[in-house]
Amino acid sequence: MKKLIIAMFVLMSAAGAFAVTGQQVSYKSGNETVHAMLYVPQGKGPFPALVVIHEWWGLNDWVKQQAQNLAGLGYETLAIDLYRGKVATTAEAAHELMRGVPEDRAKTDLLAAYAYLESRKDVKKNKVGTIGWCMGGGYALDLAVDQPKLAVAVVNYGHLASEDSTLEKIHAPMLGIFGGLDQGIPPASVQQFASQMKKLGKTVDVKIYPDAGHAFENPNNKEGYREADTRDAWNRTVAFLQKYLKQ
């Protein structure tokens, strides 16, 4: 595996007690070499790990900060880049970038990210999970479907599956965070998803915030950001990851 380090830094995460080292890494995804940001807690490993999947904007500063915050809690995080370096600043551009990602390439990228973390000596092999927001939340669910060894999945207002044949493939405990005002993912569909998962014997926990819409956790969403709900969602995420990745 070719090692490419373009940037390296050490910081103290505001979200946790671990100092964090960040670096750009490269690894193979199918026939391509892809790049991602890797954040490693400083201390004695191996660590549980997370594939961190960006919103439709791309691998921007906000999602990198989420990956850093999670690393500050003791998780090795890999913030992947499904757009190959492109980042959108308008909804129109984000929509075009999202539509331009081939489904098979995204699947290959997700599985490659999991494999990369699993291959690292400083990662606990049976404690690799995923978290994503918006488009990335949907891809977090997809990774849970495609990778049976995934240890946990956190879906923040991402698309859901409805076929039993698909949900049966999920073995990872799943946390779902959704907004009650999200027109794209209405509460009824979230509740149906949770009900189906439970009937199939899956571990699932969903929280619907009644006064929140889509992407309510990102402060860059000026009109839709909900600070109190975001704080609660973060606390739920921390507790869920603690339960399933650290115990």
The secondary structure element, H or E, covering residue 154 is: strand 153-156
- The model carries a pTM of 0.93
Encode pLDDT of 206-217 as tens digits: 999 999 999 999
Q: Is residue 13 part of a domain?
A: no
Q: Is residue 130 part of a domain?
A: yes
Rounded to a whole number of angstroms, the distance between the first and last alpha carbons of the chain is 31
Q: Is residue 20 part of a domain?
A: no
CATH number at residue 177: 3.40.50.1820
Question: Whole-angstrom Cα distance, residue 163 to residue 70?
Answer: 32
Encode pLDDT of 20-75 as tens digits: 999 999 999 999 999 999 999 999 889 999 999 999 999 999 999 999 999 999 99
CB 115 within 8 A of CB 125: no
**What pLDDT, on the 0 to 100 scale, is given for residue 114?**
98
Q: Is residue 11 part of a domain?
A: no
Q: In which residue ranges of the chain is pLDDT below 50?
A: 1-15
Helix, strand, or coil (residue 46): coil
Q: Can you give the residue range of the structural domain that contains 210?
A: 43-245
What is the tally of structural domains in the chain? Answer: 1
Q: Is residue 117 part of a domain?
A: yes
